[in-house]
Amino acid sequence: MLHSLPSLGSFADPAALAIVGGGTLLALVLRTPGRDLFRGFAALGVLWRKPFQADALLTQIDALSRISARHGVVRLDRTVIADPDIAAAVGRIVDGAGGEEISALLDQRRVARAERHRAAIDLWSAAAEIFPAMGMVGTLIGLVRMFAGMTDPATIGGSMAVAVLATLYGALAANLIAMPIAARLKRLARAELIERARLVQPLAALAERERPRVRRDAA
Amino acid sequence: MLHSLPSLGSFADPAALAIVGGGTLLALVLRTPGRDLFRGFAALGVLWRKPFQADALLTQIDALSRISARHGVVRLDRTVIADPDIAAAVGRIVDGAGGEEISALLDQRRVARAERHRAAIDLWSAAAEIFPAMGMVGTLIGLVRMFAGMTDPATIGGSMAVAVLATLYGALAANLIAMPIAARLKRLARAELIERARLVQPLAALAERERPRVRRDAA
Amino acid sequence: MLHSLPSLGSFADPAALAIVGGGTLLALVLRTPGRDLFRGFAALGVLWRKPFQADALLTQIDALSRISARHGVVRLDRTVIADPDIAAAVGRIVDGAGGEEISALLDQRRVARAERHRAAIDLWSAAAEIFPAMGMVGTLIGLVRMFAGMTDPATIGGSMAVAVLATLYGALAANLIAMPIAARLKRLARAELIERARLVQPLAALAERERPRVRRDAA
Amino acid sequence: MLHSLPSLGSFADPAALAIVGGGTLLALVLRTPGRDLFRGFAALGVLWRKPFQADALLTQIDALSRISARHGVVRLDRTVIADPDIAAAVGRIVDGAGGEEISALLDQRRVARAERHRAAIDLWSAAAEIFPAMGMVGTLIGLVRMFAGMTDPATIGGSMAVAVLATLYGALAANLIAMPIAARLKRLARAELIERARLVQPLAALAERERPRVRRDAA
Amino acid sequence: MLHSLPSLGSFADPAALAIVGGGTLLALVLRTPGRDLFRGFAALGVLWRKPFQADALLTQIDALSRISARHGVVRLDRTVIADPDIAAAVGRIVDGAGGEEISALLDQRRVARAERHRAAIDLWSAAAEIFPAMGMVGTLIGLVRMFAGMTDPATIGGSMAVAVLATLYGALAANLIAMPIAARLKRLARAELIERARLVQPLAALAERERPRVRRDAA
């Protein structure tokens, strides 16, 4: 089979590509609000990142805890806190929030983050289902064209080859693009959800310890 | 492929359209009670709306709360309350309902609303499954017709083109109409459910605060 | 396509009908115990009924409650109670059952009713999956017959038309018969489950109120 | 179609049967440990039994309870207790187990039984998925054979008939053998699970009543 | 069919094999992080092992418990403890951990183990879905090649045979390789999860008993 493969050119067809790619994009745009569409494509940037690990953040919380024990929580330099969840929590601790309030804040932020991840995962899961459907659409359009113009039997072979290409593109795009992206995003989202749960306890403990001092200072 | 596309006319076939569209509509009518059918089509009107946001309503509740603190809850001008849930809650507060009763009322209304949304989503999810099936039905009818009348081989091509069109219509309708509608309705319903949960606490608090005054006035 | 439709007769084939209908029935009989099979077909009688509404029954419970308050619960004319759940509950109340016992009785009856509904729904959901499979079986039988007897090419068209009919029947039966029935039964069952839950509280309250009196009378 | 059916012999093909049956068996053996495989086939013996009913066993527990009330629980003739769960429970009661211990024992035995049932159900559910796949495998093998040896067009018809038979066998075996067995086993397992729950309370009550006496006798 | 089977050679095609196997591997590599990919293949080594049984470990815990009762928990020779969970638990007991801490440790380790198992199961479940898709891809590539080079009708048969082989490989690989592996791994993971739960109670009890002694020794 290999030695008699036709040139790769016979596997490239712009019309089939336009139908499969454009049709899938159209279906996604129709079903997804603009903001979630943007999120789904922006998520491609984090695709090859390592899964989120809470360890470095836990070390930082430890350091913050030692500093605030010595100098008071108001002295914390919040500009060095890169993580938005920890920054938000420390901000509230400075305002005198207790442990329960901090737990609630972090849980709420985790739920909102999971919801944002879900939007990106949904986009690519939907793409994995739509790509093959649009591949079939391309093939059907090719078939209609072929049957409608079936005057010269000699051209049937070439037309069929083009029609079949659309299904091929759909299957490849689903299995090699959309499904891998959806699977990776799902894994990253899951890991971040589990890891971020580890931040709740130490931040809540810090809040509990600092609260009386913050209140006293404020008084 | 593009340069030799037959005129768009060869992609339009009223009989195939009637089978796919009419068959799907028939299947939906058979499986859906009239009221839910109406709801499913009425839901098309909200399709391009922005997701429900509770913020404006929370501001309004705040304003209502301030007015009733000054002038008493009975003085609230209920005609300016557009949201039916808030209107119903305020009506009960005026009648002397406590916080728990208001929470129960709003939860019950949210469940009933979710049930109504579900009916519309179900309709379009079902349509997304039935459209391709009816596309296949149209193609099979075309094939039967073709095989039954297969006296002149020259007409086979044209008949096949028409038969294939039905499957094409089914795939396009499912992926570009029914599935996007179902996905959008699902997202809107989910957002409204989450956002409306934020109204419960302030309205219940208002009820708790006003209750003694309402009772005293009634006495 | 319409103007050249062959007579409807070419769409009727008793053998294909027998394979699709008979095969599906056989598969259902093999997988379903007799009692559930009967239930599934008996459920067709309620298909076009309105969803169960508890309102009339709640009014009746109210009336029963007033009568028993005046004349004692033993005076209730149980022959006028058409609903079996209310009848069973009143019977137990007369025997001196308390509110909790009545709640438990009604919950148990609701679970048993849900289980019966599930049997009917399962039957038609299974039919919706088996019909297309049997359509394919009919087509395959037709194909075998055609290939085996492929001596005269002129007869192939007619044979193919007949073979294709079986798949057509399977798709139509699944989408226009089995799936609508299953969807309607599911909706009715769900509505009855939710509505019947509203009967529990007033009947339990009636039991609580009457219990001391029943006990005293019995003593 | 009926009057021109070829002899039934044209629907029997040993090679297709071997591929579909043997391939499915091979796939099942590869995925299922020996003990579960045995369980799955052993379960065929109970297929036509009536669903498990706890009523007779409840009567027996009642009788046992009366005997032990009169003569002491150690006098119970355990040889007449056919049901293994009741036998195990009575054995523990004689050893002085309390009500909670008996509940825990019966729950644990019910979980283990459900796990065993699940193994048998899984086997036949898997078979229902593998049969059609192996039907397709048989057809593909037939097609390869046909295309490879496509020198004489006259033999194509016969070869195709044989190839199609494999798919036919797969569809029939899935819908008329594997799926009905899985559905029946599922129903029986579910019924037994629900019914056996009714045995827990009376056996636990018996244990509670007899415990002091057993302890006293043992002392 | 058997007597006229072509030589097995006609069922071997390196290009089809490369497309199906290589394409599936590519899709798996794209969707799975390296560590999970390694885990999935490493899991093949445990495939034919017996399901995990806690009995031997329970006996060992019993022995450890007797030794520590006589000589103190610090005397336990941790080098003879092969199981990592028990070793970790004993290590913590020596450090003075209480029963609750040991339960939490073992639960956390069980969750982490389940997560690792899930990664391997997911890999093979994904492979079971991708293999048939890549079989279709191979067939489509073969068809394109065939249609594109359809000058000599005499070669069509051979080309078709090769094209069909890819689908055959995909179906066989999914049903006889990927699905059995996934099913076996799922069963082993489930059994280990259930069995390991039995280790928690005795190790927690050991910790509770030894804690005061460890603390006293440490003091």
> For each of chain E's 219 residues, which pLDDT tens digit applies?
444 444 566 778 888 999 999 999 999 999 998 889 999 999 998 887 888 888 889 999 888 888 888 887 777 777 778 888 999 998 888 888 888 889 989 988 988 899 889 999 999 999 999 999 999 999 999 888 887 766 666 667 777 877 899 999 999 999 999 999 999 999 999 888 888 888 898 899 888 888 777 777 766
Please check the confidence at residue A123 and state whether its pLDDT lies above 90: yes
pLDDT at E153: 63
Is the predicted pLDDT of residue D62 greater than 80, yes or no?
yes
Tens of pLDDT along D136-166?
999 999 888 887 766 666 667 677 877 899 9
How high is the pLDDT of residue B5?
Answer: 47
State the residue range of the domain holding E38: 15-42+50-218
Mean pLDDT of D186-194: 89
Q: Supply the pLDDT for residue D4.
A: 47
Q: What is the DSSP-derived secondary structure letter of residue D49?
A: S
Chains near E with 3+ CB pairs less than 8 A apart are: A, D
Query: Residue D137 is which amino acid?
Result: V
Count CB pairs under 8 A between chains A and B. Answer: 75
- The total of other beta-carbon atoms located within 10 Å of residue C35's CB is 11
Size (chain D), residues: 219
Partner residue opposite B27 with nearest CB, options C11, C51, C175: C175
Using a CB-CB cut-off of 8 Å, the residues of chain C touching B130 are 175, 179
- Check E141 against A10: CB less than 8 A apart: no
User: Would you say residue C157 lies in a domain?
Assistant: yes
For residue D6, what is the nearest residue in chain C, using CA coordinates?
Answer: C145
Q: How far is A103 from chain E (nearest CA, A)?
A: 20
- Give pLDDT, residue C218: 67
Amino acid C7: pLDDT: 57
Angle at C192 between CA C191 and CA C195, to 5 degrees: 85
| E62 within domain boundaries | yes
ipTM of the complex: 0.81
What tokens appear for D19 in the block? Answer: 């591929």
Q: Is residue B4 part of a domain?
A: no
E7 in a structural domain: no
Q: Is B67 exposed, middle or buried (0-12, 13-18, 19+ CB in 10 A)?
A: middle
At D182, the pLDDT band (50, 70, 90 cuts) reads very high
**Taking the mean position of all CA atoms in its chain, how far away is CA E199?**
22
**Is the per-residue pLDDT at A13 higher than 90?**
no
B40 within 8 A of B120, measured Cβ to Cβ = yes
Looking up tokens 């017959």 gives C145
Range D111-123 average pLDDT: 90
Q: Is B97 among the domain residues?
A: yes
Pull the structure tokens for residue C136.
Answer: 């394919």
The chain-wide mean pLDDT, for chain D, equals 86
Query: Which chains does A contact via 3+ CB–CB distances below 8 A?
Result: B, E
Q: DSSP readout, E132-200?
A: HHHHHHHHHHHHHHHHHTTT-GGGHHHHHHHHHHHHHHHHHHIIIIIHHHHHHHHHHHHHHHHHHHHHH
Cα B113 to Cα C100: distance, rounded to the nearest angstrom: 31
In terms of Cα–Cα distance, which of A39, A23, A18 is closest to A123? A39
CB of C128 within 8 A of CB of C164?
no
Q: What is the structure's pLDDT at B52?
A: 86
Residue B206 belongs to a domain: yes
Q: Which residue of C has its CA nearest to D156?
A: C147
Which candidate, C215, C204, C206, places its Cα nearest to that of C102? C204
- Residue B143 with chain C: CB contacts under 8 Å: 160-161, 164
Please answer yes or no on whether E143 and A157 come within 8 Å at the CB atom: no
**Cα D125 from Cα A96, distance rounded (Å):** 58
- Structure confidence at residue A128 (pLDDT): 96
Half-sphere exposure (Cβ direction) of D154: Cα atoms closer than 13 Å: 1
When divided into structural domains, chain D yields a total of 1
- Residues of chain E in contact with residue A174, where contact means CB-CB under 8 angstroms, are 133
Question: According to the model, what pLDDT value does residue B218 have?
Answer: 67
Residue D123 is predicted with a pLDDT of 95
Instruction: Tell whether E5 is covered by a domain.
Output: no
Chain A residue numbers with beta carbons less than 8 Å from the beta carbon of B153 are none
Q: Nearest by CB to A171, which of E31, E136, E149?
A: E136
Q: Which class for D4: exposed (0-12), middle (13-18), buried (19 or more C-beta within 10 A)?
A: exposed
How far is the C-alpha of B137 from the C-alpha of B26, rounded, in Å?
13
Answer whether B147 sits within 8 Å of C164, measured CB to CB.
yes
Is C175–B23 a contact, with Cβ atoms under 8 angstroms apart?
Answer: yes
Token pair listed for C148: 């085996």
Q: What is the CA radius of gyration of chain E?
A: 27
pLDDT at residue B4 in the model: 47
Residue C85 · residue C109 · CB < 8 Å: yes
Predicted confidence at residue C184, as pLDDT, reads 93
What 3-state class would DSSP assign to D1? Answer: coil
CB contact under 8 A, E13 and A1: yes
What is the pLDDT, as a whole number, of residue B152?
63
Cross-chain residue pair D141–E165, CB shorter than 8 Å: no
Residue B8 falls inside a structural domain: no
**DSSP-derived secondary structure letter, C44:** G
Asked whether the beta carbons of residue E144 and residue A168 sit closer than 8 angstroms, the reply is yes
Band (pLDDT 50/70/90 cuts) for residue A178 is very high
pLDDT in tens, A126-160: 999 999 999 999 999 988 888 776 666 666 767 78
Which residue among D32, D141, D162 sits closest to E168, beta carbon to beta carbon? D141
pLDDT of D5 above 90: no
| CB count in 10 Å sphere of residue D66 | 10
Amino acid letter for position C134: M
Q: Do A184 and E145 touch (CB under 8 A)?
A: no
Among chain C residues, CA nearest to D180: C31
Return per-residue pLDDT of chain B as tens, 219 residues.
444 444 566 778 888 999 999 999 999 999 998 889 999 999 998 887 888 888 889 998 888 888 888 887 777 777 778 888 999 998 888 888 888 889 989 988 988 899 889 999 999 999 999 999 999 999 999 888 887 766 666 667 777 877 899 999 999 999 999 999 999 999 999 888 888 888 898 899 888 888 777 777 766
Nearest to E28, CA basis, from E119, E127, E116: E127
Test C142 with D187 for CB contact under 8 angstroms: no
Task: State the nearest Cα–Cα gap between A214 and chain E, in angstroms.
Answer: 33
What residue ranges of chain C have pLDDT lower than 50? 1-6
- B192 closest CA partner among B31, B45, B54: B54
Rounded to whole angstroms, how far apart are CA atoms B208 and B93?
A: 9
Most confident of A8-12, A196-200, D176-180: D176-180
pTM for this model (two decimals):
0.86
The per-residue pLDDT for C147 is 79
